[in-house]
A and B are shown apart, each in its own frame.
Chain A
Amino acid sequence: MPDRRETLLWLLRALALSAAPGMAIGSLNAEPRVIGGTAGAAGPPAAIHGIDADGYGRDPDLRHPRVTWPLTLEPEQKTAVAALADALLPAEEGSPAASALGVPDFLDEWISAPYPQQRTDREVILAGLTWIHSQTAHAHLSAASAEAVVARLSALAAAGREPQAHFFSRLRNVCLIGYYTSMSGVAQLGYVGYQPSATFKGPPPEVLALLGV
């Protein structure tokens, strides 16, 4: 089993190698002269790296939400994602770890989705994962090494190193969304809502005092 230092070296080389494709896909923004129709940016472009599923379309059943595309992470990738997500968002007193709230499944749903933002994220995130995983193929990325990878990525991002900064940013953002829009995450942030009431009284006095208004 490669040691931690070696893993990181592999990871960093992988990140450096895989920066370019993500950029190319990100530039779909350039506006065509014709918007819509056959020449427009409408339908999904040709299959990109295994994602050729349809989206949920423009008229999905909103009362019965359903993910319509297949999930694409390999089991080992999923394990690595779980370790990284738990390093980003670990268990604490009264607050579960990311993997306990389904964040790895959510990340899989996200990067497998046939939409532009998600395709871009897929490029960026898979680039990091593939190589982390290739280094730990026989033993899943351990919690300790995942923490070290995340710490190192954060340090490199802080030093302004690309593409590490971008990878760290996208991985972290997708994990944050997955965690804090879950029912537990929403409660942890202190959101209270969806409670029908005949009146709206506004923020309670103790909050107004804190706000100074």
Chain B
Amino acid sequence: MAAEPFDVIVVGSGAAGGTAAYALTRAGMRVCLLEAGRFYDPERETPMFQRTAAAPLRDAGTPDKPFGFYDATVDGGWVLPEEPFATAPGTEFRWFRARMLGGRTNHWGRVALRYADHDFKAYSRDGYGADWPFTYAEFASWYDQAERLVGVFGSNPGLPDQPDSPPGCLQPPPVPRSFERLIMAGGRKLGRPVVASHTAVITRPSNGRQACFYATPCLRGCSIRANFQSPTVLLPPARETGRLTTITHAQAYEVELGRDGKARGVHYVDRLTHRHHFVAGRAVMLGASAMESVRMLFNSKNSRYPQGIGADSGLLGCGVMDSTGSNVWGQFPQMENLPPFNDDGAWLPHVYIPWWAWPEQRAGKLPFARGYHLELYGGRLEPSADTFDFFDSVSPFTYGRKLKAEARRYYGSFVRLSQRGEMIPREHNRVQIDPVLKDAWGIPSLRFDVRWSEQELRQTAHAQQSMAEFIEASGGKLVAPLPQDPAQAILPPGRIIHEVGGARAGVDPEKSVTDAFGRVWGVPNLYVIDGGVFASSAHKNPTLTIVAFALRASDHLKRELHHA
């Protein structure tokens, strides 16, 4: 463990903070990592081979463990009694958090897609939102590094909306599973691509990590380190440098500035003792997750920044985004009564449906400006508490021998298609500090005011239709008719757990909160390195971009400290 003084205080140990801790310690810097949750050791704690039969309620989701008993979320969920938040009247927001070493990287869905050049130029392309302060060409090498560090399988089919990776970045994807092959056949009929997913699982041993052995549910975590979790991939090499100090149960709440206007350290409260502490460093990086980092900036008030650090432009907290999401379920007669066989694979998606209509959209032929992709789930995974969800529609009223025959017949024959779409950033979609609400440690809480617009609804109507087409072209039947109104299909904001924005990176201090490296305007040694900086949020799941951005910001800080 390194002793004070620290070079850098990093807040949060998930995708963003874990990446910074990794990159900075390896570059020779002494890092103090503040993590609100408890220490977590996936190699010791992961219930990899525990069976569903042994779990309370057979692993069904509960408010304590929304994704099931074995899920790799500790002290998390949609509702945290100690950490309330508010939603503006007439709005909804879902906010999933995990208070543990590694944050939500322990559980995440691991779909890891690169943004394309046009994603970084969202405003220039259609006049909505803002451009990023760099181009794909300027950012691409950070994606290369991020893919190699994280470990991502995938392929390079040369699609207009999905940049190819240079050789050596991606691992070979596993072959598709039964249900994925059906959808691929449907895609061929429709003339739409179904290609290898980019998923954060390694299929070849690398960096001292074992390859996936195709046997256990990924969302529980992976003690052999074949999938990406901050505590298995990022933190061990950071610890090995001897330059990492990790303080758990440390709820950071304020960045303190010195007389020179620079960040001098971070105040935190120990969640167990309720004692307050201060830790000093030469620079501060906020990677507490987008909304938490914004909250910390708001709560860092002083005479120079009475509304909070970074609030000068009036844009702090503005432009909050999630991915759009909706589902359509299909039932596939071809999948009924199949003989027993092992179709676990790498558990997470092997294939996905990229956004095929981007050329059409660019030509202005679609009634919505931003795209989506489709993810596939289902098939013959281990029977679970959800397996019989559709029995009231596919086999109502059956019982006795008939019911048992129906259970054998239908098991494994359902596939869910899931839309993941781009939401247009709008300034009125924002978080602010709630005037009264505080968490259990007395720290002011956030209030969300986020709504879908017509754009997201029209995109969802299109996605619903497309998902139905895919199911039917693949020989399946819709489990339920599509809702007439896309507002009934679209999930509430926050539900896809891709919440980003609120501390937008840009080139103009009047129109952004941070510069292109995540440095808060006016405070040159204070960086935001998580999803907060997103100027737009392509339909591509955010975490790979968060890791790449954090690598780039860490490299920038290394140079800055070197000069000083």
Report whether chain A binds chain B: yes
Residues of A within 8 A of B (CB): 31, 33-43, 55-60, 62-63, 65-68, 87-90, 92, 95, 106, 109-110, 113, 115-118, 147, 150-151, 154-155, 157-158, 168-169, 172-173, 176-183, 185-186, 188-204, 206-208, 210-213
Contact A55 to B64, CB < 8 A, known contacts A180-B383, A193-B215, A213-B185:
yes
**Closest chain B CB from A25 CB (angstroms):** 14
B177 touches A190 (CB 8 A): no
A207 touches B49 (CB 8 A): no
B400 touches A87 (CB 8 A): yes
Give which listed residue, A150, A189, A202, contacts B399 with CB less than 8 A.
Answer: A150
Bound-state Cα–Cα, A68 to B335, Å? 38
Which residues of chain B have C-beta atoms less than 8 A from A110's C-beta? Answer: 57
B54 touches A65 (CB 8 A): yes
Which residues of chain B have C-beta atoms less than 8 A from A62's C-beta? Answer: 45-47, 50, 69-70, 220
B84 touches A40 (CB 8 A): yes
Which residues of chain B have C-beta atoms less than 8 A from A115's C-beta? Answer: 57, 62-64
A109 touches B214 (CB 8 A): no
B404 touches A42 (CB 8 A): no
Give which listed residue, A37, A59, A88, A95, contacts B84 with CB less than 8 A.
Answer: A37
Which residues of chain B have C-beta atoms less than 8 A from A186's C-beta? Answer: 51-53, 382-383
Q: What are 18 inter-chain pairs, A to B, with CB distance below 8 A? A: A36-B80, A37-B83, A37-B437, A43-B81, A58-B75, A59-B75, A62-B47, A92-B401, A116-B63, A154-B397, A168-B397, A181-B383, A190-B408, A192-B342, A193-B343, A202-B178, A207-B339, A212-B185
Binds A, one of B86-94, B108-116, B462-470, B517-525: B86-94
Bound-state Cα–Cα, A168 to B391, Å? 12
A190 touches B175 (CB 8 A): no
Contact A195 to B382, CB < 8 A, known contacts A35-B85, A58-B76:
no
B385 touches A59 (CB 8 A): no
B340 contacts the other chain (CB 8 A): yes
B182 contacts the other chain (CB 8 A): yes
B387 contacts the other chain (CB 8 A): yes
Which residues of chain B have C-beta atoms less than 8 A from A168's C-beta? Answer: 397
B128 contacts the other chain (CB 8 A): no
In chain B, positions 24-67 with a C-beta closer than 8 Å to chain A are 38, 45-47, 49-60, 62-65
Which residues of chain B have C-beta atoms less than 8 A from A204's C-beta? Answer: 341
List the A residue with the shortest CB-CB distance to B385. A177
Bound-state Cα–Cα, A8 to B123, Å? 67
Give which listed residue, B45, B334, B339, contacts A190 with CB less than 8 A.
Answer: B339
Which residues of chain A have C-beta atoms less than 8 A from B219's C-beta? Answer: none
**Closest chain A CB from B80 CB (angstroms):** 5
Which residues of chain B have C-beta atoms less than 8 A from A193's C-beta? Answer: 215, 342-344, 381-382
Contact A194 to B341, CB < 8 A, known contacts A31-B92, A88-B403, A189-B407:
no
Bound-state Cα–Cα, A146 to B435, Å? 59
Contact A34 to B399, CB < 8 A, known contacts A65-B50, A115-B62, A190-B340:
no
Bound-state Cα–Cα, A168 to B398, Å? 10
B51 touches A183 (CB 8 A): yes
**Closest chain B CB from A60 CB (angstroms):** 7
B278 contacts the other chain (CB 8 A): no
B260 contacts the other chain (CB 8 A): no
Secondary structure class of chain B's binding surface, majority of residues: loop
B184 contacts the other chain (CB 8 A): yes
List the B residue with the shortest CB-CB distance to A115. B62
B274 contacts the other chain (CB 8 A): no
B335 touches A211 (CB 8 A): yes
B77 contacts the other chain (CB 8 A): yes
B47 touches A63 (CB 8 A): yes
**Closest chain A CB from B105 CB (angstroms):** 17
Bound-state Cα–Cα, A12 to B387, Å? 29
B79 touches A213 (CB 8 A): no
Which residues of chain B have C-beta atoms less than 8 A from A200's C-beta? Answer: 174-175, 214, 344-346
B403 touches A89 (CB 8 A): yes
**Closest chain A CB from B188 CB (angstroms):** 10
A67 touches B84 (CB 8 A): no
List the B residue with the shortest CB-CB distance to A106. B58
Among B49, B184, B437, chain A packs the most CB atoms within 10 A around the CB of B437
B184 touches A213 (CB 8 A): yes
Which residues of chain A have C-beta atoms less than 8 A from B391's C-beta? Answer: 172-173, 176
Bound-state Cα–Cα, A105 to B57, Å? 11
Contact A113 to B57, CB < 8 A, known contacts A58-B64, A62-B47, A89-B403:
yes
A118 touches B57 (CB 8 A): yes
B396 contacts the other chain (CB 8 A): yes
List the B residue with the shortest CB-CB distance to A181. B58
Q: Which 9 A-B pairs have the closest CB atoms?
A: A37-B84, A36-B84, A190-B340, A196-B213, A42-B81, A202-B175, A62-B47, A189-B411, A200-B214
In chain B, positions 344-363 with a C-beta closer than 8 Å to chain A are 344-346
Which residues of chain B have C-beta atoms less than 8 A from A68's C-beta? Answer: 56
Give which listed residue, B65, B214, B340, B403, contacts A197 with CB less than 8 A.
Answer: B214
**Closest chain A CB from B175 CB (angstroms):** 4
List the A residue with the shortest CB-CB distance to B86. A34
B134 contacts the other chain (CB 8 A): no
Bound-state Cα–Cα, A36 to B99, Å? 15
Bound-state Cα–Cα, A172 to B564, Å? 70
A211 touches B342 (CB 8 A): no
B138 contacts the other chain (CB 8 A): no
**Closest chain B CB from A45 CB (angstroms):** 11
Bound-state Cα–Cα, A31 to B346, Å? 36
A65 touches B69 (CB 8 A): yes
Which residues of chain B have C-beta atoms less than 8 A from A206's C-beta? Answer: 339
Contact A203 to B343, CB < 8 A, known contacts A62-B50, A194-B49, A208-B181:
yes
Which residues of chain B have C-beta atoms less than 8 A from A118's C-beta? Answer: 57
Bound-state Cα–Cα, A203 to B78, Å? 37
A88 touches B63 (CB 8 A): no
**Closest chain B CB from A165 CB (angstroms):** 8
**Closest chain A CB from B225 CB (angstroms):** 14
B74 touches A58 (CB 8 A): yes
Contact A58 to B69, CB < 8 A, known contacts A88-B400, A180-B383, A196-B215:
no
A211 touches B89 (CB 8 A): no
Bound-state Cα–Cα, A27 to B106, Å? 32
Which residues of chain A have C-beta atoms less than 8 A from B213's C-beta? Answer: 196-198
A207 touches B399 (CB 8 A): no
List the B residue with the shortest CB-CB distance to A41. B79
B384 contacts the other chain (CB 8 A): yes
Contact A211 to B86, CB < 8 A, known contacts A42-B81, A118-B57, A200-B346:
no
List the A residue with the shortest CB-CB distance to B216. A194
A89 touches B57 (CB 8 A): no
List the A residue with the shortest CB-CB distance to B440. A37
Contact A192 to B341, CB < 8 A, known contacts A36-B79, A154-B397:
yes
**Closest chain A CB from B194 CB (angstroms):** 12
Bound-state Cα–Cα, A31 to B38, Å? 29
**Closest chain A CB from B145 CB (angstroms):** 27
Bound-state Cα–Cα, A31 to B339, Å? 45
If A35-B87, A194-B51, A212-B475 are given as contacts, then 14 extra A-B residue pairs at C-beta distance below 8 Å, sorted by A number, are: A31-B87, A58-B77, A89-B404, A147-B400, A182-B53, A183-B53, A186-B52, A191-B380, A192-B342, A193-B382, A200-B344, A202-B174, A207-B341, A210-B334
